[in-house]
């Protein structure tokens, strides 16, 4: 089914205190009307996450991004507030 960035917030209890990798294909409408479907990689590393877990995820993030050839890579330390469509659009606007 279809999933929107704010739908990820429904998982906020599971995202709140642990690191997570999220790969998300988003329908992005450019200012000139073109439509693209960028594959976004989001590394969620919440404040308060266990340091061992942060190191494990941070250490494997770059290799995963490289192997999967992901180009839209973002990070959040506050998934409760950041995982919105507006947040994603703002980050994608740098890739015109």
pTM of the model: 0.79
Instruction: Give 3-17 pLDDT, tens digit per residue.
Output: 666 676 666 556 667
**Is the model's pLDDT at 76 over the cut of 70?**
yes
What topology is assigned to 19-92 in CATH? Severin (3.40.20)
More confident residue, 14 or 72: 72
Tokens 């089914």 — which residue?
Answer: 1
Tokens 């990070």 — which residue?
Answer: 75
- Mean pLDDT value across residues 15-20: 76
Gap between the terminal Cα atoms of the chain: 27
**Is the model's pLDDT at 2 over the cut of 80?**
no
CA distances from 75 to 2, 33, 41 (A): 23, 27, 8
């Amino acid at each position: 089914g279809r999933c929107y960035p704010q739908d990820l917030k429904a998982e906020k209890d599971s995202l709140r205190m642990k690191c997570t990798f999220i790969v998300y294909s988003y329908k992005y409408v450019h200012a000139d009307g073109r439509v693209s479907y960028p594959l976004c990689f989001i590394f969620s590393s919440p404040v308060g996450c266990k340091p061992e877990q942060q190191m494990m995820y941070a250490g494997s993030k770059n290799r995963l991004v490289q192997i999967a050839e992901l180009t839209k890579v973002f990070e959040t330390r506050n998934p409760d507030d950041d995982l919105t469509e507006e947040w994603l659009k703002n980050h994608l606007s740098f890739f015109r």
